[in-house]
Chain A
Amino acid sequence: MDDMPPPVTELLAADLDRGFAELVRTHGGAVYAVLLRLSGGPRDVEDLVQDTFLRAYTALRDYPPERRLALRPRAWLLAIGTNVWRNHVRTLTRRPAAEDGVDVQELPVKDGRPGPERRAEHTWERERLVAALAELPEHHRLPVVLRHIGELSYAEVAELLDAPVGTVKAQVSRGLAALRGKPQLAEGEVIG
């Protein structure tokens, strides 16, 4: 263990710029994957990721080292990312010709492109999942994405969403049930 590089929070406390590079290296993928599934498609996701990290950098500049050291970086970044995404959706809905924040481009389009059957099946399964996820109502999709793509704990998701842990667990399991091939059930469940 002693030849491990120091954790990102130690680097952040010691040197903001180098620590920030390490923050991007270790958590950029999670932020990207979560925002990709929240925004539903690759169109705006780069901007959202960049905005998220820009905000993070600006905030870190004003944090004293002790506060940087105490960060739980992934939960913190995903909280910023979720806010950035919410603002983005709000802006979209204020504009005419706005969609609901779900990009349908990524839904299955294909007419069986030739290729190894197994791979096609895998791709199809993945696209089905992406589509099903995009169809989930936000109060199911957000917890599922944060928990299973962002890999946060239930406690972290609950804190981020400002909801009781039990509620979050229920939302996640309902969301997952809907993803298991019964997207039509999810609609009936939109109660609140």
Chain B
Amino acid sequence: MSRLHSGSGGGPEGPDRATRRAVNGEDTAKASAAGITGGAPPGLDALRVAMPADLAIRIMQRAGVADREYDRYATVDGPVTRLFVAYGRGAVTGSAPVEWYAGPDAFEEAHLHRTGRSALPTAKPLPGVVGALRTGRDRTLRYDYGGLPEAQRRVLEAVRAIPRGQLRPVGWLGREAGLPEATAAEVLAAVRASPAPVLIPVHRVGDETGRPVDCGLPPDLVGRLRAHEGVDEDRLTRFSADGTRYLGSDTTRIFCYPTCAHARRITDRHRVPFGSVDAARVAGYRPCRSCRPVVV
């Protein structure tokens, strides 16, 4: 149940889905049905080792196959979770937490299914990915969204614009993506369709009070990612309880989302809570140009 990878069509189901499929047509199916290891001394199967990293890619290069015909992928240790990160032609083509899959084979199969390209293992991650995971800023990366519709791409680009440690509601995403008429369900569907969750920070999407929404990541992972970025859930709970949606400063007369860097700097004495944009407007406040609680 922790696999909420719906939408991107690559969610693995059940263990061993990938193992030994299409290995050699019927013959192998028969062979394994007959118990291929039945008469073998224990240990022979341990000699069925994988290729060394990058050998597959050297084979492709030696055969002279253009690199647009396949992707590479590496396992990257993020600060919160390990990820498979697939890439090709300088762009991320897919990524997901390692624990979502029964094994590398399952990730590779899901990738092939989604993109039509095989992902071959490499020891070398796409330059910039390790830094992006460490800093929580992925602006230097490029993404290849494949066949994703234009509207969904724009939503994901809006998600990428949410700064580390901050949260934005679904309605904000629709506006920023230039889709003001899109429903919350449509925007969330686009968020869940992300081919690279975690790397694209879908955990920073929340409801009007910042509470997590069904962004495609399991709730516990969202919690860990937010905690790692220093999101203060207790503070959010307090605001949520007393109906605070925005924070203004009576010195600047500007109002922000509560997690905006500017809002967090307002001292207690000058902080003015608002329950709605209208209330803030009536009080003579204008929206922040950084976090953009309304279109400015």
Interface residues of A (CB under 8 A from B): 3-5, 7-9, 15, 17-18, 20-22, 24-30, 32-33, 36-37, 46, 49-50, 53-54, 57, 72-75, 125-126, 129-130, 133, 144, 147-149, 151-153, 155-156, 172-173, 176, 179-180
| Known A24-B56, A28-B55, A179-B41: A54·B48 in contact at CB below 8 Å | no
A153 touches B27 (CB 8 A): yes
Please pick, from A5, A74, A126, A151, the residue contacting B46 in the complex, using a CB distance under 8 A. A126
Q: Offer 20 A-B interface pairs, CB within 8 angstroms, sorted by A.
A: A4-B113, A18-B70, A20-B69, A21-B117, A25-B118, A30-B48, A49-B59, A50-B55, A50-B58, A50-B59, A53-B59, A53-B63, A74-B28, A133-B47, A147-B36, A148-B44, A151-B31, A156-B27, A176-B39, A179-B41
Query: How far apart are the CA atoms of A37 and B49 in the complex, in Å?
Result: 10
Q: Which residues of B contact A156 (CB under 8 A)?
A: 24, 27
Within B19-51, the residues touching A (CB, 8 Å) are 21-25, 27-28, 30-32, 36-37, 39-41, 43-51
Please pick, from B24, B31, B45, B60, the residue contacting A24 in the complex, using a CB distance under 8 A. B60
| Known A22-B112, A50-B58, A173-B39: A130·B25 in contact at CB below 8 Å | no
Query: How far apart are the CA atoms of A15 and B65 in the complex, in Å?
Result: 12
| Known A5-B109, A21-B117: A75·B51 in contact at CB below 8 Å | no
CB of B138 within 8 Å of the partner chain: no
Minimal beta-carbon separation of A46 from chain B (angstroms): 6
Query: How far apart are the CA atoms of A149 and B63 in the complex, in Å?
Result: 25
Closest to A150 in B: B48
Interface residues of B (CB under 8 A from A): 9, 21-25, 27-28, 30-32, 36-37, 39-41, 43-52, 55-56, 58-60, 62-63, 65-66, 69-70, 108-109, 112-113, 116-120
| Known A20-B63, A179-B41: A26·B23 in contact at CB below 8 Å | yes
Q: Which residues of B contact A57 (CB under 8 A)?
A: 63, 65
Query: How far apart are the CA atoms of A7 and B21 in the complex, in Å?
Result: 8
Please pick, from A4, A15, A28, A173, the residue contacting B51 in the complex, using a CB distance under 8 A. A28
Please pick, from B27, B39, B41, B60, the residue contacting A21 in the complex, using a CB distance under 8 A. B60
Query: How far apart are the CA atoms of A54 and B28 in the complex, in Å?
Result: 24
A7 touches B22 (CB 8 A): yes
A21 touches B47 (CB 8 A): no
A sample of 8 more A-B contacts (CB under 8 A), given A4-B21, A25-B120, is A4-B22, A15-B69, A17-B70, A18-B69, A21-B117, A24-B56, A151-B23, A179-B41
Query: How far apart are the CA atoms of A54 and B61 in the complex, in Å?
Result: 10
Please pick, from B31, B59, B60, the residue contacting A153 in the complex, using a CB distance under 8 A. B31
Closest CB pairs A-B (n = 9): A21-B70, A7-B22, A74-B24, A21-B118, A17-B69, A57-B63, A153-B31, A5-B112, A32-B51
Q: Which residues of B contact A15 (CB under 8 A)?
A: 69
A148 touches B40 (CB 8 A): yes
Minimal beta-carbon separation of B9 from chain A (angstroms): 7
Query: How far apart are the CA atoms of A17 and B60 in the complex, in Å?
Result: 9
Query: How far apart are the CA atoms of A15 and B36 in the complex, in Å?
Result: 32
Closest to B64 in A: A57
A176 touches B41 (CB 8 A): yes
Query: How far apart are the CA atoms of A57 and B59 in the complex, in Å?
Result: 10
Query: How far apart are the CA atoms of A179 and B85 in the complex, in Å?
Result: 41
Minimal beta-carbon separation of A120 from chain B (angstroms): 15
Query: How far apart are the CA atoms of A70 and B187 in the complex, in Å?
Result: 45
B23 touches A149 (CB 8 A): no
B27 touches A72 (CB 8 A): yes
Please pick, from A20, A25, A75, A176, the residue contacting B24 in the complex, using a CB distance under 8 A. A75
A148 touches B37 (CB 8 A): yes
Minimal beta-carbon separation of B66 from chain A (angstroms): 7
